[in-house]
Amino acid sequence: MAETPPAGTPSTPIDGLRLAVGTLSVFPVRPGVVDRRAGGIAMTAAPLVGALIGAGAAAVLAGASWLGIAPLPASALAVAVTALLTRGLHLDGLADLADGLGGGGSAERALEIMKRPDIGPFGVVTLVLTLLIQVTALAQLTGAGTGPAALVTACVTGRLALTWACRAGVPAARRDGLGTVVAGTVRRGPALAVTGLVLLAAAGTAASGPARDGWGPPLAVLAGLAAAWALRRRAVRRLGGVTGDVLGALVEVAAATALVVCAATGG
């Protein structure tokens, strides 16, 4: 069993990558130093973890299609794989945030609701509709032959939303939890650089696909970021900052938006 580094040890870039993989996926990693520097590196590298998750789910989607499984059940299976590879934590965060924002009262009351283990009506409806949107949009793309590439784009977009949600100036809503480690840790320069790389990769993937127009996936990335920005802004105003649940919700909303835009543009 790997030993946890002693308290007070300064973090390294490798610790940040470990934190990204260990927090955002089920992939086993050795524990590293967890501090705000590591948190900033982790959130900057989050799209890379999204690419790994997307690649795994896309492989399942492609395999299901090769076996002759219809686009709808194949897409449902692929979306289930993304949930499995993230322990369902992002979906849980989406449901919790929906309950917190849907309930009345103060920010403290909303945060209390979000910490409960059960899911309320707002959370159930939001969860069902989001999954329905993801699966049906992906099914349309799968039928057109662009499902795997669009799924990777959506998974990367969801994690790129984390990069921007943790930029400098965004506060944490609580004094403990994931938000205190990652909120406000990402500088604008690295966020822009990572975003540029994601857009270039999306354009390259589109240019090599059936559509060959190159603009659908990049537009999907930007639309996903815009949707996440709007939700993050609403959450910060309502709660006073971000939490792990807020970050998980941003992943799912950005990914769903990216899939819808890909479907609308044929990408």
Tell me the pLDDT tens digit for each residue of 25-71.
999 888 788 889 999 999 999 999 999 999 999 999 999 999 999 99
Q: What is the pLDDT of residue 211?
A: 53
Write phi, then psi, for 31 (nearest 5 degrees).
-65, 145
Q: Write the pLDDT tens digit of every residue in 245-265.
A: 999 999 999 999 999 999 998
Q: How far apart are CA 145 and CA 159, in angstroms?
A: 24
Contact 100, 239 (CB under 8 A): yes
- Residue 10 is predicted with a pLDDT of 75
For residue range 127-174, list pLDDT tens digits in order: 999 999 999 999 999 999 999 999 999 999 999 999 999 999 999 988
| Rounded-to-integer distance, Cα 66 and Cα 59, Å | 10
Tell whether pTM > 0.85: yes
Tens digit of pLDDT for each residue in 208-222?
665 555 688 999 999
Distance CA 63, CA 73 (A): 12
- Residues forming a β-bridge with 172: 242
In the chain, what are the domain boundaries? 13-265
- What is the model's pLDDT at position 107? 87
Measured distance CA(244)–CA(248) in Å, rounded: 6
